[in-house]
Structure 1
């Protein structure tokens, strides 16, 4: 059953900055979808738009169907009811999201009081249960945020997101500020909760390795659009779009001396959303761009079983792309241009 169906979503900020451009995504209950891309590619804007949390000047078009109901067509009273109870967000940087002058138990209990109309005693008891559910003693409900470690604060954020039994969790880089050991614990915790409660999960990160290890499917965003989508591990290990490949190769791989001593980066930055280049927006940075890439935009097309990529090199029949040949074959690819 489809839990979330995003159709042709576009988000434009004042001044004409197109942060999200025609995105289509689907998520089933119990499924984990990863969103990858550099800063400025539209990941967080997409996440915030799912619950209409964008600033007042943002213009949103398209459809966001949550359990078949369009979030963008809801009245504000219905939107407030859907937040927390239908879907919730785990923001990055728990120290900035938690109120420093309130105990964490009170902060977890607040949405239970508001959305479940529970008594104060029941809300406090629920907060303790949620803390134990995410691996913290119920007694930590009396702590202030500064009295907890980074990993503990992130667990509090997850407990808060689960307070009203939502169907969808959006985790916006939930492990960015954590060390690798705590990061692994938080990721395993999220996986367990999604499995046990049959939740839908959208996890946002720039790290394809983390998403490949956690999610079922992976969507790579660039300049506000999804440029590649498919099974998470396949996208990470054998990207069909040059941008997805560059993201994957930017991180050294354990056991691979070549990537350890000479990791490949990607020069430049994503384009300004208010001044996008013509044609394929990735072509100014693409190592295998053809002349037509500067004038013709590329739509997502089949790139193998269950996979799509927006690249002129994608051969749907073979399920391959010239991007997979790497930068070394740049001259050969260019010479094959019509």
Structure 2
């Protein structure tokens, strides 16, 4: 029951960041509450009554949209919010003394707020939601609800062994960088990401969205969000598989064409070049499938493979990888 009520409050704070929980229409009560709460408040101090014990923060992961998955760069991009709740003993009040005011919105610059970092992020090392101001909600019991969010772009290894009938699994690793478990401890409010605001992607289907907390041996508390997406294969089946099969059937005809119609064989070869270019833009040469293939061939075959790279139908990264083997 507590988690369900918390879920409502988290969703409320995300979708209504400027509404106050006021049961009496008195602006004076709100100003008086803010003045009384923050007269001696120090946002630099960790909000725990017993400083020898860690601050426990409950976390809820909200997925808003799956933006893209780049097989070549091996990155995933999604829009999400991280709802956090904790109890600050310095922010408790008696609602009857403030016109039955049970909750209020606070400027984030005036409050101690935790910062979660996506440690496998590829574009920056900034906290989640650092580029936008998200207003926290405070309940009269001292419970603080804070839900920063943004576009998260993380590293995700690619597995194309079943392309285009493949599925990709990515893990987002979020942690309060700089706070060890003795100071701050993360707990998960739910065992799955919440999809209340999720917009489905046309090319990928979301299969798994589990959440777990891992207490690292180095002393950090890490939130792992495991996401599994399944590709919609129709586009690639029409654009790659079907043309490749048709060209494979036409390929033997090159040997029976006379010199008068030599242009036909050239056209077929050009068509294969187009297919190779499409494959080059869809497949990462850092993937385990390509690496396993290169390591399995002998030196003689690898020499021919390197020559093919020089024909510009492979990515430049192909030649770089071969030179390192």
TM-score normalized by the length of structure 1:
0.21
Structure with bigger helix share is 1
Instruction: Return the index of the structure with the highest Cα Rg.
Output: 2
